[in-house]
């Protein structure tokens, strides 16, 4: 939604989808704690999909709002950070230090975004942020699926290997997009 004028509207379809994603996040956390990994995966993927739908809808139907530009990424962070933290409680392939990297990046970018938006500068997600979100979601979904089916393999490669590769890709994308956002916000330091 970069560069699009934002309205003051609150009860838009995209904002309601973000609210639904927040409710689905809570369901994901409960399912992860109950070790209902396949159900957690399904609800997590549904919640993740609403992120794409609300962004598309906001642009397509001109419902970009100031609230949405803050609320949407905040809810994304609740969903992903909460899931990563809960999944990282178990040993690999998403390790606790990876959760710390993801959460730290999200907190820093959220603070930068709030300051940029306060100063009237649009700081919507760019390409690297969207790729980061995609890879983080893939990592969480694959880790949960691998927990449910530990012996499952695709082409002779264990699903846990795919989950590990996705976790590492998510960490690299997380660090890269964090550095990119810091570079974009360098004017705040001046």
Q: Is the pTM of this model over 0.85?
A: yes
Q: Where are the beta strands (DSSP E) in 106-158?
A: 153-154, 157-158
Q: Who contacts 17 (Cβ-Cβ below 8 Å, separation ≥6)?
A: 50, 53, 54, 57
Per-residue pLDDT of the chain (190 residues; tens, 9 = 90+): 445 555 667 789 999 999 999 999 999 999 999 999 999 999 999 999 998 998 889 889 988 887 888 888 889 999 999 999 999 988 678 999 999 999 999 999 888 877 877 777 766 667 898 899 999 999 999 999 999 999 999 999 999 999 999 999 999 999 999 999 888 888 776 6
Every domain of the chain and the residues it spans: 13-188
CA distance 14 to 3: 17
Q: Widest CA span of the chain, in angstroms?
A: 54
CA distance 2 to 57: 14
Q: Which fold has domain 13-188?
A: 1.20.120
Within 13 Å, how many C-alpha atoms sit on residue 77's CB side? Answer: 21
Closest CA to 162 of 173, 178, 147: 147
């Amino acid at each position: 939604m970069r560069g699009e004028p934002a309205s003051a509207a609150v009860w838009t379809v995209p904002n309601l989808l973000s609210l639904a994603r927040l409710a689905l996040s809570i369901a994901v956390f409960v399912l992860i704690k109950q070790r209902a990994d396949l159900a957690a995966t399904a609800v997590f993927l549904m919640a993740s999909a609403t992120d794409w739908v609300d962004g598309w809808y906001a642009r397509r139907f001109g419902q970009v709002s100031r609230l949405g530009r803050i609320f949407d990424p905040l809810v994304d962070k609740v969903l992903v950070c909460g899931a990563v933290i809960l999944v990282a409680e178990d040993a690999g392939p998403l390790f606790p230090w990876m959760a710390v990297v993801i959460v730290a990046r999200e907190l820093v970018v959220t603070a930068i975004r709030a300051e940029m938006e306060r100063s009237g500068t649009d700081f919507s997600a760019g390409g690297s942020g969207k790729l980061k979100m995609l890879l983080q979601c893939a990592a969480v979904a694959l880790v949960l699926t691998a927990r449910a089916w530990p012996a499952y393999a695709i082409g002779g490669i264990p699903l846990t290997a795919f989950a590990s590769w996705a976790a590492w890709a998510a960490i690299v994308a997380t660090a890269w997009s964090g550095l990119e956002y810091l570079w974009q916000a360098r004017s705040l330091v001046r």
